[in-house]
Amino acid sequence: MPPRALPLALLALPLSAPAASLSTSQTLSDLVLLSPSHVSVSDTSPDGAAPLLTDTLTLGFAAFDPNQGVLTGVSGQVAVDPGHALMAYRNESGGDWDSVAYVRSTWTLGSTALASGSTTMQTVTANRDTPVVIGTAWTPTAFSAANLDGFVGTGTLNSSFTSHLGAFIDDGGGGSVAIASVLETAGAGTVPDTDGLTGSATWEYQWLRHADLSFAGAANLDGLALDLANGPADFLVHALGDEFSTGADLLGWTCSGDCASFALQMDDVNGLAVGATAAGSVNFLGGGGSHAARFTLHFADDDAIGAAATRLGHDLVLDVAVTPVPEPGTYALFLAGLGLLALATGQRRRPAHQPARTASITCKARIESSSGITGL
């Protein structure tokens, strides 16, 4: 039966120290760790030089998307399903020797071993006094990753899980054969396993939300405008979020516009924790006329936490300007200029009765001409 991938489950729960975090888990069930044809093996060689029955599975899990947050931990395990047992058997021939049966595993991601080397899931030993021993206590194969960046991406991570069934004669004191068999537990007894050794795999990411910076303490405010006409201006940067958010570092700032006319100062921000603030100020360096510049403050997730490949940046934009305020004498000159302009405009206008007067003179001249008056 092929593995069944269960939906991603977001477990918004705090984990243990060193810090609270969120977790996202994935589970693959119905895994056949050892096929039905690989559940029994015998051996006649001493001290572990044993033939193995081996099955390998490809376990695919979604990589951690850095847009989700800052990755702080990766862990996983493969566990045998309940209802399976491992039997060790030795024949009753003489000699003080043991028959050892075991199931071991290796789990790798590419060339990296997830679990440390070969992990024993169960070992059972039969001896001369007890020639048949059945064990039901299985130990999961588990890992907790140290190098987190290898788990970051947007695709699927295909890991390789190999199960080994083996048996050997321990101490070589005249033993003839050692047998290892996987059984099914049925009620109070056991029966040969016809479905193979089955299990499930779980993969878990621990993570924090990205740093969230703002010029306001209660809301997201990524932009701020300051007028420096009356002198230097101060501002605050707030680290928002909750106990599941990472802190922030200030990487520096860039400027565009009339940058030489302003001086920006900021607190040294390294690991600014949620709820804390960083202070800054901008000073105008002088000069006539209007001046304006834009400072972009470059923040990023705390570089002391989590996988470097998941730390993202957060920019805040600070616009500063100086607009000179006119002196009182400037206003007086301006008003006087308006008055003179109005007076000059009035004098250039033609009186409203002038067109009618011209029409009357023209009419009189025409009458005199028609009466025969000459001498002009």
Q: Name the percent of the chain lying above pLDDT 70.
A: 77
Looking at 208, 223, 257, the residue that finishes a domain is: 208
**Does 12 score more than 60 pLDDT?**
no
Residue 254 pLDDT > 70: yes
Which pLDDT score, from 0 to 100, does residue 169 have?
86
What is the pTM assigned to this prediction? Answer: 0.77
What is the per-residue pLDDT for 261? 96
Distance separating alpha carbons of residues 60 and 57, to the nearest angstrom:
10
Give the per-residue pLDDT at 345: 55
| 95 in a structural domain | yes
Of 5-19, 203-217, 265-279, the least confident: 5-19
Q: Are 154 and 219 found together in one domain?
A: no
Which is more confidently placed, 285 or 50? 285
The last residue of a domain, from among 154, 175, 208: 208
pLDDT level of residue 20 (50, 70, 90 thresholds) = confident
Q: What is the per-residue pLDDT across 83-110, written as a single tens digit (0 to 9) for each?
A: 999 999 987 766 788 899 999 999 999 9
Distance CA 155, CA 64 (A): 9
Dihedral angle, C-alpha 44, 46, 48, 50, nearest 10 ° = -20
Answer yes or no: is pLDDT of 372 > 60: no
> What's residue 346's pLDDT?
55
> Which H, E and C letters describe the chain, residue by residue?
CCCEECCCEEECCCCCCCCCCEEEEEEEEEEEEECHHHCEEEECCECCCCCEEEEEEEEEEECECCCCCEEEEEEEEEEECCCEEEEEEECCCCCCCEEEEEEEEEEEECCEECCCCCEEEEEEEECCCCCEEEECCCCCEEEECCCCHHHECCCEEEEEEEEEEEEEEECCCCCCCEEEEEEEEECCEEEECCCCEEEEEEEEEEEEECCEEECCCCCCCCEEEEECCCCCEEEEEEEECCCCECCEEEEEEEEEECHHHEEEEECCCEEECCCCEEEEEEEECCCCCCEEEEEEEEEEECCCCCCHHHCCEEEEEEEEEECCCCCHHHHHHHHHHHHHHHHHHHHCCCCCCHHHHHHHHHHHHHHHHHCCCCCC
Q: What is the pLDDT at residue 247?
A: 95
Number of domains in the chain: 3
Q: Give the model confidence (pLDDT) of 148-189 as tens digits.
A: 999 999 999 999 999 999 998 887 556 678 899 999 987 667
| Residue 363 binned pLDDT confidence (cut-offs 50, 70, 90) | very low
Average pLDDT over residues 319-333: 69
> pLDDT at residue 145 above 90?
yes
For residue 85, being part of any structural domain is answered with: yes
Average pLDDT rounded to a whole number, residues 110-117:
86
What pLDDT sits at residue 176? Answer: 75
Best-predicted range by mean pLDDT (45-59, 147-161, 186-200): 147-161
Residue 248 sits at φ, ψ, to 5 deg, of -140, 150
Of 37-41, 122-126, 133-137, 167-171, minimum mean pLDDT range: 167-171
**Co-location of 305 and 332 in the same domain:** no
Indicate the range of 49-63, 107-121, 324-338 predicted with least confidence: 324-338
Q: Are residues 128 and 29 in the same domain?
A: yes
Q: Check residue 201 and give its pLDDT.
A: 98
In a domain, 277, yes or no: yes
Residue 295's domain is classified under what CATH number? 2.60.40.10
Task: Check whether residue 136 and residue 163 sit in a common domain.
Answer: yes
What CA–CA distances, in Å, run from 98 to 124, 125, 171, 190, 372?
10, 6, 7, 22, 162
Residue 352 has pLDDT above 50, yes or no: no
The dihedral sign for the CA sequence 355, 357, 361, 363: positive
- Please tell me the predicted confidence (pLDDT) of residue 339: 59
What is the extent of the structural domain holding 336?
328-370
Answer whether residue 376 is part of any domain: no
Average pLDDT over residues 187-212: 92
Q: Are residues 161 and 240 in the same domain?
A: no
**144 with 260, same domain?**
no
Which pLDDT value is given to residue 132?
93
Same structural domain, 97 and 227: no
Residue where a domain terminates, one of 208, 230, 256: 208
375 inside domain = no
Q: Are both 160 and 24 inside the same structural domain?
A: yes
Q: Residues 196-221: what's their mean pLDDT?
A: 95
Same domain, 250 and 342: no
Q: Which residues contact 348 (CB under 8 A, 6 or more apart)?
A: none
Q: How confident is the model at residue 82 (pLDDT cuts 50, 70, 90)?
A: very high
* pLDDT tens column, 289-307: 999 999 999 999 999 999 9
The pair of three-digit structure tokens given for residue 205, joined into one six-digit string:
């990411």
Which residues are CB-neighbours of 243 under 8 A, at least 6 positions away?
A: 14, 20, 274
- The stretch 128-157 carries a mean pLDDT of 94
Decide if pLDDT at 364 tops 70: no
Residue 179 inside a domain? The answer is: yes
Pair (335, 318) in one structural domain: no
Q: Region 128-143: what's the mean pLDDT? A: 94
Query: Are 194 and 261 within one domain?
Result: no
- Whether residues 339 and 292 share a domain: the answer is no
Range with the poorest average pLDDT among 265-269, 288-292, 315-319, 333-337: 333-337
